[in-house]
Structure 1
Amino acid sequence: MSAPTLNPTYQACSIKRTRRSKSEVTDLKQVIYDIVEADQPMTVRQIFYQLVQRGLIEKSEAQYQQTVVRLLTSMRVAGELPFAWIVDHSRRRLVTSTYTSMTQAVEDTARFYRKSALREAPAYVEIWVEKDALSGIMWDVTSVYDVPLLSSKGMPSLTFLHTTAEQMKIEWRYRDRPTYLYQFGDHDPTGALIPKTIEARLREFCPDVEFTMERVALTEAQITEYRLPTRPTKREGNRHAKGFEGESVELDALHPRTLKAMVTEVIERHIPAAALTALRVAEESEREHLRAWGARFSAGGAA
């Protein structure tokens, strides 16, 4: 189905108004379509912040629920917006992988065969993100380089941290390479504390391992540079708020393209694009060998 027709003179209606006219709703739907089409897939929260930055809606939970969520629901149900353009990684769908034959299994193996770009790198790298909702956006980058993406869902658990510590020990003791951890999170009391907690625990678990912990986003400089919308910092009952100054900003407010570029930049410090290209050429050659073996297997009637 084609996109809605946009009135190029569309202006944000007054934030005090409780209802938009039919024409204003049509125009807003077109803006939403254009935003998502340019950088899909996106989360609902990311679309919300893009509309806020354009001055089309106010930054409030009411506008998030009653305007953004409502319109995205109606647009997808009506076929005006592809479902695949909106991602929700806060909910999981678990399905067992099965095959109808051994031939199909070989074909799938060839299709998904990957050589590890990270294994060939001089350092072990992990990307950490505070919000699971953004993991799909960042996975678009980390999966290309075969770099692990860890969603802490807020403050990471002790078990989650111990798993990384054990991997770091293996990398240092048996592969003689250091670890680099790059963390992305909200600019708020808890978000600012998360990377400090990660580093403190990992140094406790593996004091002899060489590693670097870096908070990539969000920083105050980025908030200023990208003119990100802020919100009042929750202080009452928040034990993490002591010592945190200023207002808070959600990582979701970053444009998806900007977020992906930041992830790419830190990974390519260790896995250059040229090295990745050479690896993928070798990978395709080996994939063809698998396909040829599968064809001979099928021709022999063993399937």
Structure 2
Amino acid sequence: MPDRRPRGYQPGWQPRPATEQLLAEVEMILGRYAAQLPLTMRQIWYATVADGALAKQERTYRRLADMLGMARRAGRISWLAIRDDADPATEPRTFDGPAGFRRAVTDAARAYRLDRQAGQEARLEVWCEPTGLAPQLAAVTDPWGVPVYAGGALTSLSGRRAAARRAATGGHGAVCVMVVGDWDPGRQHLFTALAEDVKAFAELDAPDVRVEFERLAVTEAQIAELRLPPAPLRAGATPTQVEAIPPDALAGLVREAITRRRDDEVLAAVLAREEAERGMLLEQLRRMPAGA
């Protein structure tokens, strides 16, 4: 039987009234969380459930995903507003000639930055279970130079060892790993096992560094305070997904966790040096002959 699903752009799409109403709800949600875009499909779904526009059922998630697919194909929803989980692409870096290379070097100088965690007592990391949330969280953590690791950092053996080896760099006395992931009553032991495994590697790779783990989200307290709905029913314990937290609330949790662990004066000194060195590099490039 042929696959009759749409292909390519669909400029002539004419949604039914019920779909048009759901589309208006989604547009309102995207406007509400404009500062956190792009959102994942699951975040949008939880927002529609919280607003009462959809029932909390897996079939409504599939309906929403199909509708958003058509809305993007039709140009009703921006492609940049929704984050798709996808494997990262690796493409070769090329230039259109010496002038293009010079522009790239200048752009790199404009983006020059130091390690903004330098001099702080503890190095911070955010580990994010849903890969699709990583860019959203990175936009929050970027001003402090806090990296976000997703997917394999939580599950792979090499990711855990790499975390221990990172602890040995930078001259920090401690490393704090803040984990953002689902709350699953039946799998809480996995968080403990993750922390124990990284700490065991660090005993040899970074023996002088204290390694700490904190569950930043989701917690039982957040479930109660934010009235987070569980995921659609399935066999066994029912998890609460991190994407059920409103995007602005999640950003606030991450921001607060970082700021209470930072020395503002130390950071200000790093930023001042960064700005001065960036200016020096740009001035050197400006004075360089065009043919050099």
TM-score, normalised to structure 2, is 0.83
Q: 1:172-210 deviations in whole A, cap 9, x for unaligned?
A: xxx251111111110114652332122111222123431
Q: How many residues align?
A: 267
How far has the Cα of 1:252 moved from its partner?
Answer: 0.8
Secondary structure of 1:127 counterpart: strand
1:168 maps to amino acid: A
Contact kept? 2:127, 2:154, Cα under 8 Å: no
> Among residues 98, 105, 112, which one is paired with 2:94 in the alignment?
98
Query: 1:9-50 CA deviation, whole Å, 9 max, x = no partner?
Result: xxxxxxxxxxxx933322221110121123221011100110
Shift of the 46–222 alpha-carbon distance from structure 1 to 2, 3 Å rule, reads: same
> Match for residue 214 of structure 1?
214
2:181 to 173, 178, 185: 185
Q: Counterpart of 2:43 in structure 1: which amino acid?
A: Q
List gaps (5 residues or longer) in structure 1: 1-20, 236-245
Instruction: Give the direction of change, closer, same or farther, for the CA distance of 1:166–1:264 in structure 2 (3 Å limit).
Output: same
Partner amino acid, structure 1, of 2:28:
D
Cα gap change, 1:278 to 1:75, in 2 (>3 Å): farther
Question: Are the counterparts in 2 of residues 228 and 249 from structure 1 also a CA contact under 8 Å?
Answer: yes
- Pairwise CA distance, 1:153: 5.0
Specify the SS of the correspondent of 1:182.
strand
Paired residue secondary structure (2:155):
coil
Displacement of 1:52 in angstroms is: 0.8
Aligned CA-pair RMSD: 2.3
Name the residue aligned to 2:198.
202
Equivalent residue number for residue 265 of structure 1: 256
2:129 equivalent in structure 1: 130
- 2:19 corresponds to which residue? 25
Q: Distance in 1 between matches of 2:29 and 2:289?
A: 47
CA distance 1:116–1:45, shift in 2 (3 Å) = same
Q: Distance in 1 between matches of 2:159 and 2:214?
A: 18
> Residues 287 and 25 from structure 1, CA distance in 2 versus in 1: closer, same or farther, beyond 3 angstroms?
same
SS at match of 2:103: helix
**Conservation of the 8 A alpha-carbon contact between 1:178 and 1:211:** yes
1:297 aligns with 2:288: yes
Displacement of 1:288 in angstroms is: 2.2
Code of the aligned partner of 2:48 = L
Question: What SS does the aligned partner of 2:116 have?
Answer: coil
Q: Which residue does 1:49 correspond to in 2?
A: 46
Per-residue CA shift, 1:31-85, capped at 9, x if unaligned? 101211232210111001100111111122211112x112211221222111111
Deviations, residues 207-229 of structure 1 (Å, cap 9, x unaligned): 34312111111111111111111
Deviations 1:86-110 (A, max 9, x none): 1124332222233332422321221
Amino acid paired to 2:31: E
Give how far 1:290 is off: 1.6
Quote the residue 2:166 is aligned against.
167
Q: Aligned partners of 1:63 and 1:273: how far apart in 2?
A: 46
Which residue in 2 is equivalent to 1:78? 74
Structure 2: unaligned runs, 5 residues or longer: 1-14
Partner residue in 2 for 1:225:
225
In the TM superposition, structure 1's runs of 4+ consecutive aligned residues that sit over 4 Å from their partners are: 272-278
What corresponds to 2:57 in structure 1?
60
Determine if contact 1:233/1:248 at 8 Å carries over to the other structure.
no
